[in-house]
Chain A
């Protein structure tokens, strides 16, 4: 009986509704968590898997030795590699294509690579305007590697102690 009365009084006084309004009312004054994208960005982990790149050694020599481990491990089968003997007698790729439409950014290629040649940079802003631009050729990948080498090295350095 007492319980029933309590329930009745509560519903008459809109108790539950007022409680709900108190929650939203409190949130009105809470600090807003919106990140205003072009001006602000969310923090990014050094392990972020973004656009691919092929790295070079500090002396300018290509790291990739065309072992094709990345091609073999790629679950999306987006890497295509042809190899040949280069002029200095080393084994090099003549073709290294990554289809970014197929790629799922799992990072297995980077894990498989014995010489840290193929890496996923932390670049997340890129787009394709024409058909065919989604195929990253060896030249493009090397250029990206050259452009972001410092960043790539820094990210690898930050993650080294966990590997």
Chain B
């Protein structure tokens, strides 16, 4: 598309320099928002099914209109600003929550060529952006001037900071194995067969990454930040209407993001699981990489929902114990193991 524009309209550089990127970003965000909307429906359906209910099924066939109805409802609701809140910070907080959650997607490769910014520090960028997201929560809790929101803020600050360390160390293992911070190169380093994926040599890191990812997105069982039964709704207890929708969007966009990062780093991103298997490889040759990536992401998202339907909320001190005393030591040990594997050039992974 870009080349075609350059060839046919060489006198209009604005077309491929501004219009095309903006349009593609627009299309991508629309898809992302739809994914978020339908993820919320999927969540209600899956949790309902696990509780032997059937979930929402009134709006449209199978309740498929439910997310649309919810979005419309949220848009038409009044935004209430508490009198004692700090108005500007109160407005800035949801923006700070949602902006990094969307900005991260710039470096996530959805296919060989399908990436907005193929930068060589992609993984670092993801880490940076996802840790910026916590400021949204912090400022929301502070600006609301409500005790519940403030409590949630304290909890989230401690939790996210603790789990970011474990998450960072888990990613260090991947970087060591792939010798690159570029997500495309990390995926290409895993090509070969399903056994080449980093989930095999880095399995403990995958587990650690996944647990910290769940904690990082403040999802059950690490949802002390929201903790409906203790502190109402946590940091967004004072938010309503569209500003609440922003927090909701950020949370679900982050869920999809950590799922895609997990599939990119550990499950070979867009690579086909049948690579290297004689007959199946040719059968599934024509399936686009995006399909495989989406399947992997959906698997991780289902895990999110499955966790939420299964586990009770962690106690605050248990969260800290798990983060500092279990996950970080495991990652540290495994980094040494990866170093060893790298030095002695073990297996198909470290050559």
Contact = CB atoms under 8 A, between A and B. Distances in A.
Interface of B: 46, 49-54, 57, 306-307, 309-311
Contact of B310 (A23, A30, A32, A33): A23
23 contacts: A20-B311, A21-B306, A21-B310, A23-B310, A24-B306, A24-B309, A24-B310, A25-B50, A25-B306, A27-B49, A27-B50, A27-B51, A28-B46, A28-B49, A28-B50, A30-B52, A32-B52, A32-B54, A33-B53, A34-B52, A34-B53, A36-B54, A36-B57
Given A20-B310, A32-B49, A32-B54, 6 more contacts: A21-B306, A21-B307, A24-B50, A27-B49, A34-B52, A34-B54
A143 interface: no
A8 to B, nearest CB: 12
A87 to B, nearest CB: 56
A104 interface: no
A28 B306 CA distance: 10
A17 B8 CA distance: 59
A25 B310 CA distance: 9
B50 A33 contact: no
The secondary-structure label for the interface of chain A is helix
A27 B46 CA distance: 10
Contact of B53 (A17, A20, A32): A32
Contacts of B53: 32-34
A141 to B, nearest CB: 36
Nearest to B47: A24
Which of A21, A23, A24, A27 counts the most B-chain CB atoms under 10 A from its CB?
A24
Interface string A9-36: 0000000010011011101101011101
- Chain A contact patch, size range: 10 to 19
Nearest to A21: B310
Contacts of A28: 46, 49-50
A142 B310 CA distance: 54
B145 to A, nearest CB: 38
B52 A27 contact: yes
Interface string A23-59: 1110110101110100000000000000000000000
Contacts of B46: 28
Contacts of A17: 310-311
Nearest to A11: B326
A107 B80 CA distance: 49
Q: Which 10 A-B pairs have the closest CB atoms?
A: A24-B310, A24-B50, A34-B54, A32-B54, A20-B310, A28-B49, A24-B309, A28-B50, A21-B310, A27-B50
Contacts of A21: 306-307, 310
Interface in A126-142: none
A34 B57 CA distance: 12
B190 to A, nearest CB: 25
Nearest to B57: A36
A33 B51 CA distance: 10
A138 B51 CA distance: 47
A3 to B, nearest CB: 20
B214 to A, nearest CB: 12
Contacts of B311: 17, 20
Nearest to A31: B52
B44 to A, nearest CB: 13
A33 B309 contact: no
B306 A33 contact: no
A25 B46 CA distance: 10
A62 B53 CA distance: 48
A33 B49 CA distance: 10
